[in-house]
A and B are shown apart, each in its own frame.
Chain A
């Protein structure tokens, strides 16, 4: 028995050095030699300032930006506190929250149609960077109006930002909200130039 305990202890120590230290540090090292940008989270900087990650959503409000999905992470898109709402399908507060979001989106977009479901439901991570094509198209008219841009131009911008299914079959088509809004800012800037 004593021998087995010593074996267990030695085995734990030696394999911890191999699997718990050597393995992750080795992967980190090679990853930074081969694909450092990806290993660090595809961070986006603008004028030398870190403004976010391509993979993480941010909250956008008001009439001039495409809205992200509702988020249950902290006070919204808190990337150090990821969380879904975990509200069940018959939970009255879920249904009230969805009704409220839907009413707000309907008003903001002067729409009578039903709201695309992803735009009024919280994502699993609370950090979903994407909205569906339907949710992006739904917002085009109001945003073009608020920014004084031609609808066709905003529409074209949205369609440039559609990420199709990966390898043609995997996942769902989607639009990255942060990238779209940054491009929208660029578009407004160039439209203001003579």
Chain B
């Protein structure tokens, strides 16, 4: 670990803090339909959009109507994505003449991008045409993120409204998320990324003639080693920057290329890396401020922010420490930090990012539900790789996905308030709303669906040698980690992977698609039910028995509840995966 490494991590967090407040205020104005500086340009577009699609922007929705609109929009747009993938060979902007995507893979991908997961079982540069990437995948990067933000805002309305039956209009919330937040943010970010070298074109792949041709030996289709001379390098191109921007800002994480933000065309410089990391946290961090503003308790927003900050700091410290220590099994290799190298475990990492920025990115991308990667998590040390896994298992509430992070965190807030209420023997209250049996039941449903998907799918998969285990790239405890990571990432709608797992099989494509859809939509329904139920309650004035949700004590309790729920659920699985691997690695055992 170096002083510069810590400085870069500290600088990143400081910038998040500086962005969060103004962005949070701005988002409050957007969703309360107050004036903003972009109105002169955007209001006409907004009105046209409503007119073309027959949306009545003044109509408020009951939570169930809100949920139905959300589900129908998701299903319809998912089907259209599926269609685009299947028929891409007949559509324009396919300079490599890529064939249609096979059915089950196309289904997995459609589910993945609709659920804001962006799990990728395919290699994009050899599978998806430019049109599919732009109009199919990048499009869903916008809408799935906008749906997330809309849901979080609906939830916050549920908390802040009193004695009302409605929680807003789904179409208006989605439209305003897109037009006022995601689109302008993406345009600015896309140009900033291009200035750093992220490519943006529609040209066919280029063929470069290598400076020095190479003799390479590789197995042919029958497995026999064949030596051939390689004289050219095919350079995949594409409209990358426009997709990269919304990929980060919408915490989607689906790479234009196979290696995502490790690829120099997606993330060419340390500055592009910083911008991408900031884009992941910007909206989720801003939404905590929006929470404070909309509920009339700014300090509550900051108390929630503080709990997130504590968990973020714990994650990045662990990951940086573990990766900087390096791999004790590599002998004859200099892994020490010096003036001329950062040292540490460099397998799967890029030189321009080194250890600090790789560990930081891995922490951020899994604290949020982004899933973009700038290094290969599969090659992290056991404890370094456990950090992203644990971050996802905690429910991705550390800033979290756009919207999803906030409503996930608010479920934990309700549980914390409930537990505090039990301790003092009073009916728990949250910002003046009494938390009753229905709310707690729904919150528990939300909390339970998550591990049920992860643990059941993982448990079944390790019992299936041909369907499950044959896809593993690594043996021993690391193999269990690969499977556990896949189902955690899918259910948590993250999308990053221990990418050694060959997931493009019918079994994994189907099970992971189910995990992604369940982890998204089954959890949204109880969440919206709580929102609707809270909205119709009376506000009770605070009394001596009210547990204040603005204090460091509250932050501590909230952090504790998150850690206890997460570790009670997942510790046994973790101890058989990364923890066991860590112990065996230091005992010198290899697989």
Residues of A that sit less than 8 Å from B by CB: 1, 3-12, 14-16, 19-21, 23-24, 27-28, 30-32, 34-35, 38-43, 49-56, 58-62, 65, 69, 73, 75-92, 94-95, 98-99, 102-103, 106, 113-118, 120-135, 137, 165-167, 169-174, 178, 181-182, 185
Contacts and interface: CB of A to CB of B under 8 A. Distances in A.
A166 B373 contact: no
B589 A125 contact: no
B301 to A, nearest CB: 30
Given A90-B477, A124-B259, A130-B352, 18 more contacts: A9-B76, A10-B53, A14-B52, A41-B237, A59-B210, A59-B230, A62-B212, A80-B236, A84-B379, A89-B581, A92-B590, A116-B340, A123-B351, A127-B259, A134-B340, A170-B273, A172-B270, A181-B212
A124 B258 contact: no
B269 interface: yes
Contacts of A31: 191, 194, 200-201, 241
A32 B201 CA distance: 8
B166 interface: no
Contact of A88 (B68, B273, B478): B478
B333 A120 contact: yes
B476 interface: yes
Given A38-B194, A117-B335, A58 B378 contact: no
Nearest to B499: A86
Interface residues of B, number: 130
B564 interface: no
A92 B473 CA distance: 12
Nearest to B373: A124
Nearest to A130: B351
Contacts of B212: 58-62, 65, 181
B87 interface: no
Nearest to B12: A170
Interface of B: 4, 7-8, 11, 49, 52-55, 68-69, 72-73, 75-77, 80, 123, 125-126, 134-136, 138-139, 142-143, 171, 178, 183, 186-187, 190-191, 194-203, 205-212, 214, 216, 218, 230, 233-237, 239, 241-243, 257-259, 262-265, 268-271, 273-274, 326-327, 329-335, 338, 340-354, 357-358, 373-376, 378-382, 473-478, 481, 498-500, 581, 584-585, 589-591
B379 to A, nearest CB: 6
19 contacts: A6-B54, A8-B69, A19-B183, A28-B202, A75-B214, A79-B234, A84-B379, A87-B473, A89-B345, A95-B329, A114-B334, A116-B340, A117-B330, A123-B262, A123-B351, A125-B263, A125-B264, A171-B271, A178-B211
A55 B265 contact: yes
Q: Which of A60, A132, A171 has the most CB of B within 10 A?
A: A171
Contact of A41 (B191, B199, B375): B199
Contacts of A127: 259, 263-264
Contacts of B200: 27-28, 31-32, 39
Contacts of A129: 264
Q: Which of A30, A56, A76 has the most CB of B within 10 A?
A: A56
Contact of A24 (B191, B242, B340): B242
Contact of B348 (A62, A75, A86): A86
Given A15-B143, A84-B378, A129-B264, A7 B55 contact: yes
Q: Which 6 A-B pairs have the closest CB atoms?
A: A171-B270, A20-B135, A124-B262, A86-B500, A84-B376, A170-B270
A120 B237 CA distance: 28
Q: Which of B138, B186, B202, B259 has the most CB of A within 10 A?
A: B259
A85 B265 CA distance: 19
A181 B210 CA distance: 12
A118 B194 contact: no
Contacts of A73: 259
A124 to B, nearest CB: 3
Contacts of A182: 211
Contact of A86 (B136, B198, B208, B378): B378
